[in-house]
């Protein structure tokens, strides 16, 4: 057991704050059993959330904003996919500490007209900007039946799932998307032309789990490519090109001088353009190759939230009955493999959320080491 694992697993408190628009409170967990904790590097969800809030407060994030950023990271981590989750949190802390992100952004509404709005993130962390954007879209949908809100001058939002679940909890359908820095080739090209521009949707159903999709328009996101590289796994050759413009099975060649390819060729490319239209074009933000990662110059990511109020179409109970019927119809189809039943988007994530919420989250050693180093640098002690 490394010293960093021991140091990381210290009991941390939570600053109390009730000013956030997000209604869910974070309860302080009982003292941890450090012996079992250090053996497995496992942390309970509430303790992880408390830790993130504590670290965010140390880099000058307000209590309300810290709580909402931590909620996004917790929600994304509970999907259990191994990327776009807590592993990205140390980078957020470093960027806030070093002034790359604005720890005290003045997120403002630039234009507001009935069901629509344009917002400016003021170089906020993308997780905070997208959370505030979704909140506004929900409010507009509650009043007008639909809310469409765009955000410019933001940063990486992690993924769409958390924000769409936020809308789904309000008996609405959430659709969230973001442009990103250019990392994907145009169909028929071998140069970086456009971001993989992730998007997704979520809605509650009458079944046990919500329907939820969270994807990028490339065959694989950067996070997934890094995951494959770190595990020394080959990738399918159609996922990307190397620095010579040749298909490769080596994810490191794609990441170091190569380029990702759009999923299903022209279809993925077309969807990336759709996201670009609904985010940067409507928001007045940086477009395609002009987007910069962690930029201080107003050319960061743009996002969009579309929230649909189910009650403006039919009663929520009727919607749930109809979606339950849809789920049952789809589940009833014979699988190719009898041991692998037909699963709907969001079903695996729901199972993971329940399991991790009950059993705790196992952190990989890299994440433990990074968090431990930051705890020392930020002088966080119990």
Residue 332 is predicted with a pLDDT of 96
Q: Encode pLDDT of 298-319 as tens digits.
A: 779 999 999 999 999 999 999 9
Average pLDDT, the chain: 89
Task: Assign 41 a pLDDT band (cuts: 50, 70, 90).
Answer: confident
CA distances for 121 relative to 105, 106, 146, angstroms: 7, 7, 22
Residue 202 is predicted with a pLDDT of 99
> Does residue 217 carry a pLDDT above 70?
yes
> Does residue 79 carry a pLDDT above 50?
yes
CA distance 296 to 307: 29
* CB 289 within 8 Å of CB 185: no
Burial of 226 (0-12, 13-18, 19+ CB in 10 A): middle
> Does residue 382 carry a pLDDT above 60?
no
Structure tokens given for 362: 């196992």
Residue 295 is predicted with a pLDDT of 63
Residue 4 is predicted with a pLDDT of 46
Q: For 367, phi and psi rounded to 5 degrees?
A: -65, -40
What percentage of residues in the chain have a pLDDT greater than 70?
Answer: 88
Report the DSSP beta bridge partners of residue 152: 120
Region 9-18: what's the mean pLDDT? Answer: 35
Q: Encode pLDDT of 259-277 as tens digits.
A: 999 999 999 999 999 999 9
Residue 292 is predicted with a pLDDT of 86
Residue 224 is predicted with a pLDDT of 87
Q: How does DSSP classify residue 338?
A: T
Burial of 29 (0-12, 13-18, 19+ CB in 10 A): middle
CA distance 371 to 382: 15
Residue 10 is predicted with a pLDDT of 40
Domains of the chain: 3-101+354-377 (1.10.1530.10), 108-218+262-312 (3.30.1370.60)
Q: pTM for the complete prediction? A: 0.87
Question: In this structure, are strands 184-185 and 192-194 parallel, antiparallel, or unpaired?
Answer: antiparallel
> Does residue 80 carry a pLDDT above 80?
yes
Task: Assign 36 a pLDDT band (cuts: 50, 70, 90).
Answer: very low
Residue 222 is predicted with a pLDDT of 83
Task: Assign 63 a pLDDT band (cuts: 50, 70, 90).
Answer: very high
């Amino acid at each position: 057991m490394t010293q960093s694992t021991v140091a990381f697993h210290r009991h941390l408190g939570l600053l109390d704050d009730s000013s956030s628009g997000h209604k869910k409170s974070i309860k302080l967990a009982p003292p941890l059993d450090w012996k079992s904790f250090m053996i497995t590097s496992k942390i309970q969800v509430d303790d992880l959330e408390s830790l993130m809030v504590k670290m965010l407060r140390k880099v000058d994030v307000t209590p309300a904003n810290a709580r909402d950023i931590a909620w996004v990271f917790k929600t994304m981590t509970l999907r259990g996919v191994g990327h776009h989750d807590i592993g990205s949190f140390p980078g957020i802390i470093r960027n806030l500490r070093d002034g790359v992100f604005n720890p005290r952004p003045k997120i403002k509404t630039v234009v507001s007209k009935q069901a629509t709005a344009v917002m400016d993130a003021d170089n906020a962390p993308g997780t905070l900007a997208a959370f505030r954007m979704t909140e506004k879209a929900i409010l507009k949908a509650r009043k007008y039946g639909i809310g469409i809100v765009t955000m410019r001058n933001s940063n990486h939002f992690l993924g769409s799932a958390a924000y769409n679940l936020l809308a789904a909890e309000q008996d609405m359908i959430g659709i969230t998307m973001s442009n990103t820095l250019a990392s994907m080739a145009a169909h028929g090209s071998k140069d970086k032309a456009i971001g993989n521009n992730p998007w997704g949707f979520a809605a509650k159903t009458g079944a046990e789990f919500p329907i939820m999709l969270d994807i990028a328009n490339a065959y694989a996101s950067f996070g997934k490519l890094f995951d494959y590289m770190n595990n020394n796994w080959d990738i399918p050759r159609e996922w990307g090109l190397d620095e010579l413009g040749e298909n490769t099975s080596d994810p490191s060649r794609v990441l170091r001088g190569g380029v990702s390819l759009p999923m299903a060729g022209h279809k993925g490319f077309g969807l990336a353009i759709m996201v670009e239209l609904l985010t940067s074009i409507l928001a007045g933000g940086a477009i395609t190759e002009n987007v910069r990662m962690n930029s201080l110059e107003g050319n960061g990511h743009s996002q969009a939230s579309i929230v649909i109020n189910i009650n403006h179409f039919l009663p929520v109970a009727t919607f749930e009955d109809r979606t339950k019927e849809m789920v049952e119809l789809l589940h009833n189809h014979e699988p190719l493999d009898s041991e692998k039943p037909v699963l709907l988007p969001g079903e695996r994530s729901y199972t993971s959320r329940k399991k991790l919420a009950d059993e705790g989250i196992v952190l990989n050693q890299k994440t433990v080491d990074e968090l431990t180093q930051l705890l020392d640098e930020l002088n966080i002690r119990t």
